[in-house]
Amino acid sequence: MSALEHVRGLKLKFGRLDRAKEGIIEKLLFIAAISSILLVFFIIAFMLKESIPALALGWNFIFGMTWCPGHEQFGIFPIVVSTFVVGTGALAIAAAIGIPTAIFLAEFSPRWLRNIIKPCVEMLVGIPSIVLGFFGLMVLVPFIRDSLGGYGECILAGWIILAIMTLPHVISISEDSIRAVPEGYKEASLALGATQLQTIRRVLLPNARSGILASLILGMGNAIGETMAVLMVIGNPEIPWIPSSILEPVRVLTSTIVLEYSYMEWGSMHQHALFAIGVVLFVIVAIFNLVTTVAIKGRFGATAAIKGVIGGNR
Amino acid sequence: MKETVIKISLCMVALISVAVLFAVVGYIFLKGIQVISLDFLLKSPNYTALEKGGIFPHIIGSLCLLAVCLLFAVPLGIASGIYLAEYATENILTKSVRFFVECLAGIPSIVIGLFGLIFLVYYLGFGPCMLSGGLALGFMILPWTVRASEEALKAVPRSYREASLALGVSKWQTIRGVVLKSAYPGIITGILLGAGKAIGEAAVILLTIGGLVTYLPHSLLDDVGALPVYIYTILTVVPASRDVAESHAFGASLVLIMMFLMISVFALSLRNRYIKRMSGSRG
């Protein structure tokens, strides 16, 4: 065997080894990729398994009016209603501030101002929710108690704190969708003699509508799933009721879990009911997220959605 | 005239977010700085006489939890990202992987906490400890690491790969030597943003660790403290005078915000440099 053939043989051998190694690496990467799927299935399976006895109560669970674990009564309807009331109000405030901000950032803002506002908005998303809740408890709650009366810990406080938390998502996705409107539309409108404001109202906003809507739905999902911040400021009465004024304390789904998990008896109906609340929460938020994905994909394709979500950190 | 008025009012509204940020951070800073001292930072907590203790085990605990969380989520996330960006063809499987990553990102943190409680603490029998808390946090930020890696890898120009493959370098070597090397600032930025979220997260770890510790953890299965849980428990569970509890909560909040700010300023500066470099190489 000549030296040349020897080298060629070695090369072949290494080539085969390399190919085997490449194959193994690809398999390993594949396993990593499907681990997310497995994780989601595990979460769903375990949550369902723990909550089936409570979900089996059926309408009595979802539409039951009394939540009183001490007396074995597990109706979450007042809690669900409060959750939606708190979420919707927060979203309305976030929309009222967020959409004008997005318009300003996309259309009017000089570069230097945008470079100040944008990082601040991004920082806002990351203030730990427990810190924001504590801020609310120390500043907002006494303020509401002194100026509007009531306990102070109430729906209104929850609205404001949650609005601060959802604001960044609303701003960044709305801004992205306003910017995604083709430049030509705007130019055509301006060329026809429309003013900048008319162009925004008649051309940009209608075209960006689905993106803005999506940001609101996503914000709603976030608001409903938020735990610590809202927990600190809404009061959480022992026995929840359907609120009739925004100055009443309420309980939401997330706060109920945190307040009661520590003294639930393992294996009791109380435990199953708390996990069932988790499932209800999961389903509500999943529906909101699904609607968002569909709404954004319909208009801009997936990239805008992903960019918006990553830019806004969820 | 009308245009100017509207412009100015839009600008005012836009500045609300900035004002809120400064109000929250400024208030916590002013109140917290009065509490922070070396004793506060370096002493163990004393739950019967809160004012005599500090928060040292909780600072270390937060960092330990973050380390466990990143050790789980980063390798898994980068590997998934590589598979999605480099190997996978567009088929039902990759679509469902992406869909489930989105699902995971959308799960409320309290539900992840409940899952951690039932699966890690009870079913696997870890008990409330560093491993349970860290893994549960890892579940929460896994979607970030996957998305950040995939996006960063996809942003690497195709020609880099082609040049390397044309030189006879194998696919994996190309990914390791060329693609990952140009994508890593993007990946690290994404991971750091996730880490910033993880360090402030309370709902997940509240359910998966004990939290009321006075000592440092010695192993993965030891109970740990964490700053967010400390803030919550001293305000609700621990019997202490309201003033002391509040002042400690301000101090702990300030430390937590500082940790978060350090992580995210680092992440954002990395991202800006990265964007500059990418646009430079294109233009």
pLDDT given at position B235: 87
Domain extents for chain A?
59-311
Per the CB < 8 Å rule, is B235 touching A232? yes
The C-alpha atoms of residue A106 and residue A119 are separated, in whole angstroms, by 15
Domain membership of residue B22 (yes or no) is no
Span A300-310, average pLDDT:
43
Span A264-292, average pLDDT:
90
Residue A31: band (very low, low, confident or very high) from pLDDT cuts 50, 70, 90 = very high
Nearest to A37 among B97, B107, B118 (CB): B97
Q: Which of A225, A207, A205 is nearest to A289 (CA)?
A: A225
pLDDT (tens place) for every residue of chain B, 283 residues total: 788 898 899 999 999 989 999 999 999 999 999 988 888 888 888 887 777 888 999 999 999 999 999 999 999 999 999 999 988 887 888 888 888 998 898 899 999 999 999 999 999 999 899 999 999 999 999 999 999 999 899 988 889 888 888 888 888 888 888 898 888 888 888 888 889 889 989 999 999 998 788 888 888 888 888 999 999 988 887 666 788 888 999 999 999 999 998 888 888 788 777 777 666 554 3
Per the CB < 8 Å rule, is A129 touching B142? no
Chain A closest CA to B188's CA: distance in Å? Answer: 14
pLDDT given at position A297: 67
Contact between A261 and A275 (Cβ < 8 Å): no
Task: Please give the full DSSP string across A83-124, using - where no structure is assigned.
Answer: HHHHHHHHHHHHHHHHHHHHHIIIII--HHHHHHHHHHHHHH
The C-alpha atoms of residue B58 and residue B202 are separated, in whole angstroms, by 13
Chain A, 213-242: which have a CB under 8 Å from a chain B CB?
221, 224-228, 232
Q: Which residues of A touch B82 (CB under 8 A)?
A: 29
Span A231-252, average pLDDT:
89
Core vs surface per residue A185-214: b (16+ CB within 10 A) or e: ebeebeeeebebeebbeebbbebbebbbbb
Secondary structure class of A235 (helix, strand, coil)? strand
Query: Which structural domain, as residue segments, surrounds residue B152?
Result: 59-282
Note the ipTM here: 0.89
Terminal alpha carbon distance of chain A: 64
pLDDT given at position B219: 85
Domain membership of residue B255 (yes or no) is yes
Residue A309: band (very low, low, confident or very high) from pLDDT cuts 50, 70, 90 = very low
Instruction: Say yes or no to pLDDT of A17 above 70.
Output: no
* Residue B174: CATH number of its domain: 1.10.3720.10
Chain A, 46-75: which have a CB under 8 Å from a chain B CB?
46-47, 50
Contact between A203 and A189 (Cβ < 8 Å): yes
As for how many domains chain B has, the answer is: 1
Residue A251: band (very low, low, confident or very high) from pLDDT cuts 50, 70, 90 = very high
Q: Does domain A59-311 have CATH number 1.10.3720.10?
A: yes
Residue A67: enclosing H or E segment and its boundaries? Answer: strand A67-68
Q: Does B106 touch chain A (CB under 8 A)?
A: yes
Contact between A268 and A74 (Cβ < 8 Å): no
Contact between B116 and B135 (Cβ < 8 Å): yes
